[in-house]
Amino acid sequence: MSDILNHYRDQLIKELANVVGLPMVTEQSIEEQSEDIILRYTPITIDRSWMDDEAAATSDAQYNKLKKAINNLGITGIGDIDEFVGAMNSFISQPVDVSNHSEAISRVDVLRTFYHLLTSPNEQSKGYDFEHFLAHVFKGKVIPAQGEPGITDVYFPGDRANIAAKFIKPGAVIKGSMSEMQATMDNKGIVSYLVGTKGEVKERGVVHFHMFVIDRNNIDSVPVSKKGQMNFTIKKLSSPEYADKFQFRELSNSPLDLRGCLEVTEKVFEALDKKFQGLLREMQDLVNQVDDLLYSATDDKETKQSAGAAKKKAEKVRASAQDIETTN
């Protein structure tokens, strides 16, 4: 159950920390809120600094939550990516099942992290964020720009460990410095490309995953622009001239269709709230009460009333949690 409570714990800790410093108030006669309580979910936002200083990152609640979610899914490395895409598609498209609530909430966390990345308005950062997402989920390490010369972006343990990750619009050119490519060939002898193409308009939220390989045997066949950049497109790679030569393929479970992940998040939390006898809704109501105290109470009377409501709700949530613990 602690995996579920963690979704609200971090927000509550921050808000209740401000309540602790207030003077004690006598319990007021406060009516229970009659309106429906809406369960809210806050997506995890990947911070690039996590890769630079993992020791410091472990004090970040969002970092720890993402790591727990990934561990709950049993992902071992980049070789699991096709299975990962298939499992996530099934999770979104099939009826909600929270019998294993840790797995269900972990899939929501990872899906919503990727969806948040995908739908971010900052187009310039998406390629870098895609690299970091792959590195976190599939146990890799982003290669810093000032590191050893080469074309690869992420290192993963195991075969074909050096990945050049690209996150592009359909039809966009897959670029890369051929001088850096040659440096990688001299050092490693192979580069595996993982390309995510992000759908637009009606396909917004759909991501296709493609892979191809450049090595010492085919590097001379790479199309090059006048500026010395690799000049591939997915269409060109899939043509008979290049497909076999560069081992081009789309993952068998691709595309990953994230268009239903907001709806499935809502359904999962409704199912979890039912499983835990309304505790999630009670906790969300406590968040609302604390919000009223911190942001709406503007005078002594309102502050006392809001503090009393928060105290009363906190006691009810604690009692509900204890009841569940003793019956499970």
For 283-315, the three-class secondary structure string (H helix, E strand, C coil) is HHHHHHHHHHHHHHCCCHHHHHHHHHHHHHHHH
Q: Give, in order, the Cα–Cα distances in Å from 224 to each of 195, 197, 211, 267.
A: 18, 21, 19, 49
**Is there a contact between 73 and 110 (Cβ–Cβ < 8 Å)?**
yes
The whole-number pLDDT of residue 316 equals 66
Q: For 188-244, write each residue's pLDDT tens digit.
A: 889 999 999 998 888 889 999 999 999 999 999 999 999 999 999 999 999 999 999
How much is the pLDDT for 24? Answer: 36
Which is it for the CA torsion 43, 45, 51, 52, positive or negative? negative
> Within 13 A of 161's CA, how many CA atoms are on the CB side?
11
Contact indicator for 188, 159 with CB cutoff of 8 Å: no
| pLDDT value of position 14 | 47
Determine the pLDDT at residue 293. Answer: 67
- Give the sign of the dihedral formed by CA 145, CA 150, CA 152, CA 154: negative
Q: Kindly tell me if the per-residue pLDDT of 16 is higher than 70.
A: no
SS3 assignment, position 28: coil
Q: What percent of the chain has pLDDT over 90?
A: 47
* Position 18 confidence tier, pLDDT thresholds 50, 70, 90: very low
pLDDT at 11: 52
Torsion angle in degrees (nearest 10) through CA of 47, 195, 227, 243? 170
Select the more confidently predicted residue: 8 or 268.
Answer: 268
Q: Are 152 and 119 in contact (CB under 8 A)?
A: no
pLDDT at 327: 53
pLDDT at residue 275 is higher than 80: yes
What is the model's pLDDT at position 20? 37
Rounded Cα gap, residues 152 and 146, in angstroms: 12
Cα–Cα distance between 233 and 174 in angstroms, integer? 6
CATH of 49-262, one of 3.30.2010, 3.40.600, 3.40.1350, 2.50.20: 3.40.600
Task: Specify the pLDDT at position 148.
Answer: 64
Q: What is the mean pLDDT of residues 276-305?
A: 75
- The segment(s) of the chain belonging to CATH 3.40.600 are 49-262
Which residues are 197's β-sheet partners? 168, 208
Alpha helices in 26-177 (DSSP H): 49-52, 54-57, 61-72, 81-93, 101-118, 126-137
List, for residues 137-195, the tens digit of each pLDDT value: 999 999 887 666 678 899 988 755 689 999 999 899 999 999 999 998 988 889 999 99
Pairing, β 249-250 against β 206-215: antiparallel
* pLDDT number for residue 27: 36
CA 172 from chain centre, in angstroms, equals 24
CA distance 51 to 216: 31
Q: What is the pLDDT of residues 23-50, one digit of tens each?
A: 333 333 334 443 577 788 888 888 878 8
State the burial class of residue 30 (Cβ atoms within 10 Å of its Cβ: 0-12, 13-18, 19+). Answer: middle
What is d(CA 324, CA 193) in angstroms, rounded to the nearest whole number? 48
pLDDT tens per residue across span 64-93: 989 999 999 999 899 999 999 999 999 999
Q: What mean pLDDT value characterizes the chain?
A: 82
